[in-house]
């Protein structure tokens, strides 16, 4: 039985491989330390400074009271209807600029073929009592406003 002596050269490739892994890991740690903000992880998997950043942003939403100041007819038409609790900005987008100066920015006029489906497409998580509509079966892909008024979605008469 012969014992074969191994020369160190036989293991040099393994040392190089280990060195590459060590350098790669060290590089990863350094780059991560440079890219991850100091306040990351203070509130779970979030950056604590994001709260201050959001507070400094200008308000975009006006709130329901701002709309009713000028559009009480629409508010009244929604009373008692299925959309009574849906706020204007859910469909018309943020309206703070419009509330400050109505001539500066008009409210978004939503596409009646898609805006209703944001809430009314069928989904397993919705309560069974919530109206869910498959547009292909319900109205042969006709827009909702063909039969329904958007602010008071009961079926239109006539």
Q: Are residues 129 and 84 in the same domain?
A: yes
User: Considering the domain boundaries, does residue 153 fall inside one?
Assistant: no
Q: How many domains does the chain have?
A: 2
Task: Read off the pTM.
Answer: 0.60
User: Considering the domain boundaries, does residue 151 fall inside one?
Assistant: no
Task: Name the more confident of 141 and 16.
Answer: 16
**DSSP assignment, residue 51?**
H
Q: Are residues 127 and 77 in the same domain?
A: yes
Gap between the Cα atoms of 117 and 135, Å rounded: 8
Q: Which residues contact 125 (CB under 8 A, 6 or more apart)?
A: none
The per-residue pLDDT for range 65-92, each reduced to its tens digit, is 888 888 888 888 888 888 888 888 888 8
- Long-range contacts at 62-65 (CB < 8 A, ≥ 24 apart): 62/89, 62/94, 62/95, 62/96, 62/98, 62/99, 63/87, 64/88
């Amino acid at each position: 039985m012969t014992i074969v002596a191994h020369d160190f050269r036989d293991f040099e490739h393994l040392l190089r491989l280990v060195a590459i892994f060590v350098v790669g890991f060290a590089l990863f740690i350094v780059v991560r330390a440079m890219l991850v903000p100091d306040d990351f992880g203070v509130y779970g998997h979030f950056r604590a400074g994001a709260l201050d950043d959001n507070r400094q942003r200008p308000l975009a939403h006006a709130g329901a009271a701002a709309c009713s100041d000028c559009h009480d007819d629409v508010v009244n038409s929604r009373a008692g209807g299925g959309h009574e609790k849906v706020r204007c900005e859910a469909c018309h987008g943020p309206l703070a600029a419009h509330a400050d100066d109505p001539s500066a920015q008009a409210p978004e006029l939503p596409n009646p073929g898609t805006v209703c489906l944001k809430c009314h497409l069928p989904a397993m998580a919705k309560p069974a009592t919530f109206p869910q509509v498959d547009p292909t079966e319900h109205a042969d892909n006709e827009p909702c406003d063909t039969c329904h008024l958007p602010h008071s979605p009961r079926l239109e008469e006539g």
